């Protein structure tokens, strides 16, 4: 196999697609969206070359800007790059207080920012799940539609939390009536 250059893309059976960031004597340092930096032997049969980059004047390392661009590319490609979501101003500094029906039990206080962050994470994970379902090679179109309907209903169940969002474009949307 021809030696790879920095910037070459490889597909690994375990980590998926990654980019060669450094060429060492016996191995490549490759950055993957799932798995971070992994050293792979040049003789390994666990990866295939997707695209082979031209060797730029013997360069053997990426600078930090190129690594950042790589991670953004890979995370976005895999649907793992979450957008910045703003919480409504009126909730900043607020607390969510859960009071049990039994007065002998203790109440629980949660900062609304922490609660909001968890809600946004649920939404992001549902979106990644949707992308994984839609791109799954073994599911039939009907199976994808059936599973998608469950996800849409999950979004609908979360519409109560829309009051926390600053922008209506960020709201959860169910199937509607």
Query: pLDDT truncated to tens, each residue of the chain (177 aa)?
Result: 678 888 888 888 888 888 888 888 889 998 887 667 888 888 888 888 888 877 655 555 556 676 777 776 666 666 565 667 888 999 999 999 999 999 999 999 999 999 998 898 888 888 888 888 888 889 899 999 999 899 989 988 999 999 999 988 888 887 765
Least Cα distance to 20 among 6, 41, 33 occurs for 6
* pLDDT recorded at residue 96: 93
Least Cα distance to 49 among 110, 100, 3, 109 occurs for 3
**How far is residue 21's CA from residue 30's CA, in Å, rounded to a whole number?**
6
Is 0.85 surpassed by the pTM of this model?
Answer: no
pLDDT digits (tens, 9 = 90+) for 53-83: 776 555 555 566 767 777 766 666 665 656 6
The domain ranges of the chain are 9-77, 89-170
**How far is residue 13's CA from residue 46's CA, in Å, rounded to a whole number?**
6
**How far is residue 73's CA from residue 38's CA, in Å, rounded to a whole number?**
17
Strand order in the sheet with 27-32: 36-41, 27-32, 16-23, 9-12, 47-51
């Amino acid at each position: 196999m021809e030696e790879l250059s920095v910037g070459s893309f490889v597909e690994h059976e375990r980590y998926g697609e990654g980019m060669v960031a450094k060429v060492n004597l016996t191995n490549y340092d490759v950055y993957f969206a799932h798995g971070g930096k992994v050293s792979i032997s040049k003789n390994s049969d666990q990866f295939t070359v997707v695209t082979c980059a031209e060797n730029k004047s013997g360069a053997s390392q990426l600078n930090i800007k190129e690594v950042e661009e790589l991670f953004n590319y890979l995370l976005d490609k895999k649907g793992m790059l979450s957008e910045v979501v703003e919480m409504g101003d009126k909730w900043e500094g607020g607390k969510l207080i859960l009071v049990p029906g039994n007065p002998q039990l203790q109440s629980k206080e949660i900062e609304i920012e922490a609660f909001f962050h968890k809600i946004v994470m649920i939404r992001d994970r549902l979106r990644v799940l949707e992308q994984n379902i839609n791109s799954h090679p073994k599911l039939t179109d009907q199976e994808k539609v059936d599973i998608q309907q469950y996800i849409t209903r999950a979004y609908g169940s979360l519409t109560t939390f829309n009051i926390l969002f600053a922008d209506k474009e960020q709201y959860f949307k169910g199937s509607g009536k």
